[in-house]
Amino acid sequence: MKKVTGLGGVFFKCDNPQGMNEWYVKNLGLPTSQYGTTFEWRHTDNPSIKGATAWCTFPQDTKYFNPSAKPFMINYRVENIVALVDELKKENVTIVDEIAEYDYGKFVHILDPEGNIIELWEPTDELDEDNEAG
């Protein structure tokens, strides 16, 4: 079973998220909004299918990374999140929450051995050039 299929996003805490976003716009050209930015890319084995990786700043007092005390969170793209969570439970990996489902995919949070929060994301079917499910 394939587990991680790619990087879904990088999220980090900062003192001034808006100021940080503005710095990244000015100095590195990231087209940020209040939600950060999204990098679009194409699947290597099927370039007609698009994927995306998110980059986002969060305020220092965000609870979104809890229970981790670390100032960052990595999101990994996965296939078959339900089966993966079952495997992780068998390996005694800390599962922070239940799988949540949204229009854009399924999510669950786990902790690595050093207490880093990891967000696992199974995207909904990605779109090909004609905006049809791929």
pLDDT digits 0-9 by tens, 5-45: 889 999 999 999 999 999 999 999 999 988 899 999 988 88
Close Cβ partners of 51 (under 8 Å, ≥ 6 residues apart): 6, 40, 41, 42, 43, 77, 123, 126
Query: Mean per-residue pLDDT for 113-131?
Result: 78
Query: Do the beta carbons of residue 13 and residue 28 sit within 8 Å?
Result: no
pLDDT for 29 equals: 93
Read out DSSP for 84-113?
A: HHHHHHHTTPEE-S--EEETTEEEEEEE-T
pLDDT for 126 equals: 57
Is the CATH number of domain 4-123 3.90.550.10? no
Task: Report the alpha-carbon distance of residue 16 to residue 59 in Å, rounded.
Answer: 7
Close Cβ partners of 17 (under 8 Å, ≥ 6 residues apart): 57, 58, 59
The two three-digit tokens of residue 64, written as one number: 């979104």
> Tokens 């996003």 correspond to what residue?
9
ω into 67 cis (within 30 of 0): yes
Q: In what helix (H) or strand (E) does residue 6 lie, and over which residues does it extend?
A: strand 4-14
Listed by start position, the domains of the chain span 4-123
pLDDT for 132 equals: 44
Its pTM stands at: 0.85
